[in-house]
Every structure is written in structure tokens, then in C-alpha cells.
């Protein structure tokens, strides 16, 4: 027996919600992949622990993607078992996200250490590396307008004179502009890439919080609509 009246409205709301939720799952997968590529390609980070966050994001995205599709089918067909399963799985996802948030807070300084160590390794290997590796480091410094890990002096072993930095450290990049200009603040960026990246993350963390709150609200709404639809479907069975 099909649901009627207000329950039919809940049915369509749940279907619409799951469509939005399905898009959120797809977005999480894309974000997770982009973060993974950025960490291990743009920043050349080797530490496997750095993959934990993006892999978790991708995993949650995949789970949400399929659960939302599963629930869309359940809502459309008014299948009590499928809607109930969706509500239970969505509750488990919320609990997993809460656990992940707690772990993220506990290990909030881990990424800073990983980036510090990876940038230090990049500078140490710069002179004897391939052209592709050097270009990655140069692009990093040019884009972030930084030099070295903590400051320009991290390149002290780059040149024989101990005061030469790669040209990518220069504010106006030209061939040979970094020669003998390590301490010249007018020509070379003095801020390290670690601080530049940390500043960027702090400035954009609010958007991460907003996104997390939006997804959390959608998940709670999904559970509420699912419970309402489950009750409506069960009432239909009882009438029959």
C-alpha cells in the first residue's frame, strides 16, 4: 500500500535529500583524490600517514555515494527494509565521522610535522635530483611566494658561497637572480614554505568547518526523514 498525504511529501523530500547526499558523496571522492594528489605530488610528501585523511575522505565519499543511491531506490519503491538499512548505515557514518573528528583533533599537529620533514627532504635532494623534481620545488616556491622550509637560510648548502638560493625564491624570477641574494629581503622571499602553507590552511579552515556542518545537517535530516517514512510505510502495512 502506497503512503498517502504528508508521508508522500516525506517520501519525495527523502528522495530529494538523497540526491543531494549522493552529490555530496561524489564531491567528497573528488576532494579526497585532489588532496591525495596535492600532498604526494605537489608537495612530494612520502610519509604514508599523510594519506590517512584523504583516504578516509575518499572512503566516506564512496560509502555515501552508494548508500544514497540505495536509499533513493528504497524511498521511491517505499521499501521499509531498504529505508531502515539506510537510516542505520547513515547513523554509523555519523559515528565514524565523530570518531575521525576526535582523532583529527588529537593528531592535529601531525600534518605540520609531515610537511616540515618532507620539505626538508625536498631541499636536501634538490641539487642532485631530476629536472622534473626541481621544477616541482621551484613551482612550489613561486606559487606560495616562499623560500626554504622555515626561511631562505635553509638553502645555505645550495651554493658554494653559502648565500645563493634557487631563482624560484626571487620575487621577480630571472636567470641568476638568486645568486648571492639569500639575505636580501628586497629580492628574495624570506618566509619559509612551511609557514606559508600553515597560514593558507588556517585562513581556509573555516570553509572546511562550514562544509562539515552542511554535511552533518544533511545527514541528520536524512535520518529524520527516513524514520518518518519508515513509520508511514509500517502504518500502511498495519492498515492492510
Residue-wise pLDDT tens digits, 116-175: 887 888 888 888 888 888 888 898 899 889 999 999 999 998 988 999 999 999 999 999
Q: Which span out of 43-57, 91-105, 162-176 was modeled with the highest average pLDDT?
A: 162-176
| 199 occurs within a structural domain | no
Q: What is the pLDDT of residue 119?
A: 83
pLDDT band at 204 (very low <50, low <70, confident <90, very high): low
Same domain for 99 and 140? no
Rounded to the nearest integer, the mean pLDDT of the chain is 76
Cell 620539505 found at: 119
In angstroms, rounded to a whole number, what is the distance separating the alpha carbons of residues 48 and 175?
A: 36
In angstroms, rounded to a whole number, what is the distance separating the alpha carbons of residues 57 and 130?
A: 32
In angstroms, rounded to a whole number, what is the distance separating the alpha carbons of residues 96 and 102?
A: 10
- Give the domain CATH number at 143: 1.10.1450.10
Provide the 10 A C-beta neighbour count for residue 203: 9
% the chain with pLDDT above 70: 74
The cell numbers describing 162, all together, are 653559502
CA 23 to chain CA centroid, nearest Å = 16
| 188: pLDDT strictly greater than 90 | yes
Could you report the per-residue pLDDT of 62-71, keeping only the tens digit for each? 887 877 777 7
> Quick one: CA dihedral 122, 126, 128, 130, positive or negative?
positive
Same domain for 188 and 147? yes
Domain span at residue 157 reads 112-193
Q: What DSSP line would sit under 33-98, residue for residue? A: HHHHHIIIIIS----GGGGHHHHHHHHHHHHHHHHHHHHHHHHHHT-HHHHHHHHHHHHHHHHHHH
Instruction: Answer left, alpha or beta for residue 227, where phi above 0 means left and psi between -120 and 50 means alpha.
Output: alpha
| 1 occurs within a structural domain | no
pLDDT band at 97 (very low <50, low <70, confident <90, very high): confident
Q: What is the pLDDT of residue 53?
A: 62
| 90 occurs within a structural domain | yes
Same domain for 131 and 225? no
Phi, psi of 178 (to 5 degrees): -85, -5
In angstroms, rounded to a whole number, what is the distance separating the alpha carbons of residues 222 and 96?
A: 16
Q: What is the pLDDT of residue 62?
A: 83
Same domain for 158 and 80? no
pTM score, two decimals?
Answer: 0.56
| 237: pLDDT strictly greater than 50 | no
Same domain for 91 and 177? no
Q: What is the pLDDT of residue 106?
A: 73
Same domain for 182 and 129? yes
Amino acid at each position: 500500500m502506497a503512503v498517502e498525504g504528508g508521508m508522500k511529501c516525506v517520501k519525495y523530500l527523502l528522495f530529494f535529500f538523497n540526491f543531494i547526499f549522493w552529490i555530496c558523496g561524489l564531491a567528497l571522492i573528488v576532494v579526497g583524490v585532489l588532496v591525495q594528489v596535492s600532498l604526494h605530488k605537489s608537495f612530494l610528501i612520502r610519509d604514508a600517514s599523510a594519506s590517512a585523511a584523504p583516504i578516509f575522505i575518499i572512503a566516506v565519499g564512496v560509502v555515501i555515494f552508494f548508500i544514497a543511491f540505495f536509499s533513493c531506490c528504497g524511498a521511491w519503491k517505499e521499501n521499509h527494509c531498504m529505508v531502515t538499512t539506510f537510516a542505520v548505515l547513515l547513523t554509523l557514518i555519523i559515528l565514524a565521522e565523530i570518531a575521525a573528528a576526535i582523532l583529527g583533533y588529537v593528531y592535529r599537529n601531525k600534518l605540520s610535522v609531515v610537511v616540515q620533514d618532507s620539505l626538508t627532504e625536498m631541499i636536501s635532494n634538490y641539487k642532485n635530483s631530476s629536472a622534473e623534481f626541481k621544477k616541482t620545488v621551484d613551482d612550489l616556491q613561486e606559487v606560495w611566494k616562499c623560500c626554504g622550509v622555515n626561511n631562505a637560510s635553509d638553502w645555505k648548502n645550495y651554493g658554494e658561497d653559502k648565500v645563493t638560493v634557487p631563482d624560484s625564491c626571487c620575487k621577480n624570477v630571472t636567470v641568476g637572480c638568486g645568486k648571492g641574494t639569500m639575505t636580501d629581503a628586497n629580492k628574495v622571499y624570506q618566509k619559509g614554505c612551511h609557514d606559508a602553507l600553515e597560514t593558507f590552511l588556517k585562513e581556509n579552515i573555516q570553509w572546511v568547518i562550514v562544509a562539515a556542518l552542511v554535511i552533518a545537517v544533511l545527514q541528520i535530516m536524512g535520518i529524520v526523514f527516513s524514520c518518518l517514512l519508515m513509520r508511514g510505510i509500517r502504518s500502511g502495512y498495519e492498515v492492510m
